[in-house]
């Protein structure tokens, strides 16, 4: 089999940026919670509950979706993922009943299961084939910065568009924008070595599970991602209701959310510098501290200016993506890379299924402040034992195993 040229693999990096750009240029970012509560009549607790089938879908399909990418290639799986995203978003905007909304969430969940981990492995393997895998944190961070810059643009455009039309229009238009990501994925060049091995689908899943059991550094990195995920509940579910409660109009919610998106861009762009300058161990310690600090600001300061907490939390959440995936990518072989990184999304869903509805219920039945206090307590209470277990391996260089990487084995 003819190997792709360096120029083609270089092109993968640019196309990867475009893929993230159009997948994240979504006009529903600033108004989707408001859309569900005001136009579709859901409570905040119901909004978090309807996400449970979405997360369950990811739990059941995340590893199979990533294993398909490890077995048959990254490109076809990413094409399928972008296609399902576009379909789900349009369906979400047109759905008029709870059950139709649920169907859109399930389609979305399948698409998400085929994205997370696969896109990271696609980029890492493309860079590794060029001998540039050490650049992964910087390039992956840049990709996520582009994604969040697209979110900023979508936030600034979507809110005034919703005010000028209705809450439904920005969502349907976002589906059309997502379809452009399909075109970007169609031009991807499959990295060499991905299909050079002869592991079956079942062997990939079984070997990945064995790797998690045998390697505590990988296991604790995956659990750490779940820990930081608790912070995402604040930015995803509570920010828009927070703005509404403080009398911010629909047309202005995008402006108030923009600093949070900019904080995410800064985190993505600075991830590799923080890891090299601040140190891996300190960088990982910093993230839960920022999440706890953000929750405590929201719990103790009843003011619109407490919105400063959301950029703080989002900085930590955004920083976790490039740092954790790089940590895992450097410790697993090519034939298991997509499957292993995808486990971060599985743990994310496993954490959100009980935690988001509980915090949403606390906000509805007690107060938003009670939910914020609970979020801070959860992160602080779980971080201490996790870091105690992770201490012996965190910050150390990855061990080199005896099994050669599939990329080095190559194909003829």
Burial of 372 (0-12, 13-18, 19+ CB in 10 A): buried
- First CA to last CA across the chain, in angstroms? 5
Q: What is the pLDDT of residue 409?
A: 35
Q: What is the pLDDT of residue 320?
A: 92
Backbone phi, psi, residue 411, to 5°: -145, 155
Query: What superfamily does domain 6-191+199-396 belong to in CATH?
Result: MFS general substrate transporter like domains (1.20.1250.20)
Q: Are 189 and 11 in contact (CB under 8 A)?
A: yes
Domain boundaries along the sequence of the chain: 6-191+199-396
218 membership: H or E segment, kind and range: helix 216-233
Distance in angstroms (rounded) separating the CA atoms of residues 23 and 175: 9
Q: What is the pLDDT of residue 330?
A: 83
Mean pLDDT by 10 residues, the chain (412 residues): 68 93 92 89 83 83 78 89 95 91 92 86 88 86 87 89 92 94 94 58 66 85 93 89 88 86 89 86 95 96 94 94 87 75 82 90 91 96 95 72 38 33
pTM (2 d.p.) = 0.74
């Amino acid at each position: 089999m003819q190997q792709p040229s360096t120029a083609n693999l270089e092109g993968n990096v640019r196309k990867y940026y475009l893929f993230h750009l159009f997948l994240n240029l979504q006009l529903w970012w600033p108004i989707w919670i408001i859309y569900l509560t005001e136009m579709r009549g859901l409570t905040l607790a119901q909004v978090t509950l309807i996400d449970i089938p979405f997360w369950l879908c990811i739990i059941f399909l995340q590893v199979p979706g990533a294993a398909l990418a490890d077995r048959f290639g990254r490109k076809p799986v990413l094409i399928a993922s972008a296609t399902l995203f576009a379909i789900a978003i349009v369906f979400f905007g047109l759905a008029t009943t709870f059950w139709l909304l649920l169907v859109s969430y399930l389609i979305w969940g399948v698409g998400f299961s085929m994205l997370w981990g696969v896109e990271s492995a696609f980029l890492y393997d493309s860079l590794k084939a060029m001998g540039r895998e050490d650049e992964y944190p910087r390039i992956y961070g840049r990709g996520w910065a582009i994604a969040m810059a697209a979110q900023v643009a979508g936030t600034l455009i979507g809110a005034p568009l919703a005010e000028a039309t209705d809450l439904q229009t920005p969502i349907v238009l976002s589906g059309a924008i997502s379809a452009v990501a399909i075109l970007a994925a169609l031009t991807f060049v499959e990295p060499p070595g991905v299909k050079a091995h002869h592991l079956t689908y079942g062997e990939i899943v079984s070997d990945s599970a064995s790797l998690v059991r045998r390697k505590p550094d990988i296991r604790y990195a995956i659990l750490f991602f779940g820990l930081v995920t608790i912070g995402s509940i604040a930015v995803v579910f509570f920010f828009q209701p927070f703005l509404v409660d403080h009398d911010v109009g629909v047309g202005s919610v995008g402006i108030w959310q923009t600093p949070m998106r900019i904080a995410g861009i800064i985190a993505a762009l600075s991830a590799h510098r923080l890891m090299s300058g601040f140190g891996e161990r300190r960088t990982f310690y910093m993230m839960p501290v920022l999440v706890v600090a953000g929750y405590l600001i929201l719990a103790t300061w009843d003011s619109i200016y407490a919105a400063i907490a959301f950029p703080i939390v989002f900085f930590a959440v955004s920083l976790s993506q490039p740092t954790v995936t790089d940590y895992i990518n450097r410790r697993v072989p090519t034939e298991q890379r997509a499957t292993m990184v995808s486990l971060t999304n599985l743990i994310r869903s496993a954490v959100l299924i009980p935690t988001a509805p509980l915090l949403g219920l606390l906000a509805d039945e007690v107060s938003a402040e009670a939910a914020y206090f609970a979020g801070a307590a959860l992160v602080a209470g779980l971080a201490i034992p996790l870091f105690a277990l992770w201490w012996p391996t965190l910050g150390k260089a990855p061990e080199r195993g005896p099994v050669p990487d599939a990329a080095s084995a190559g194909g003829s």
